[in-house]
Amino acid sequence: MSGLDLDTLAPSVAWTGDRIEIIDQTRLPDEFEIIELVSVDAVVDAICRLAVRGAPAIGACGALGIVIGLDERHPEDLPAARSALDELVEVIGSARPTAVNLRWAVERVRDAALEGDTADRLRRMALDEALRIIAEDKDACSRIGEAGRAELTGMTNIMTHCNTGRLATAGWGTALGVIYAKAAAGEPVRVLASETRPLLQGARLTIWELEDAGIDVTLMPDSADAAAMSVGKVDAVIVGADRIAANGDTANKIGTFSHAVNARYAGIPFYVAASLSTFDTAIASGDEITIELRSDDELTAWRGIPTAPAGASVWNPAFDITPAGLITAIFTEVGVLHPPFDVSIPAAVEHAER
H or E stretch covering 106: helix 100-113
Cα→Cα distances 296→98, 310, 350, Å? 18, 11, 41
Note if 225 is an active site residue: no
Mapped onto helix, strand or coil, the DSSP state of residue 338 is: coil
Pairing of strands 34-37, 250-253: unpaired
3-state secondary structure of 305: strand
In 16-137 the beta strands, taken as DSSP E runs, fall at 20-23, 34-37
User: How far does the chain reach from its first CA to its final CA, in angstroms?
Assistant: 36
> Rounded to whole angstroms, how far apart are CA atoms 273 and 176?
9
> Which among 137, 222, 225, 242 is annotated as catalytic?
242
**What is the rounded CA–CA span in Å between residue 170 and residue 15?**
12
Alpha-carbon span 345 to 285, nearest angstrom: 12
Coil, helix or strand at residue 191: strand
* C-beta separation of 148 from 331 below 8 A: yes
The residue count for the chain: 354
**252, amino acid identity:** N
Q: How far apart are CA 9 and CA 18, in angstroms?
A: 21
Residues designated catalytic: 242
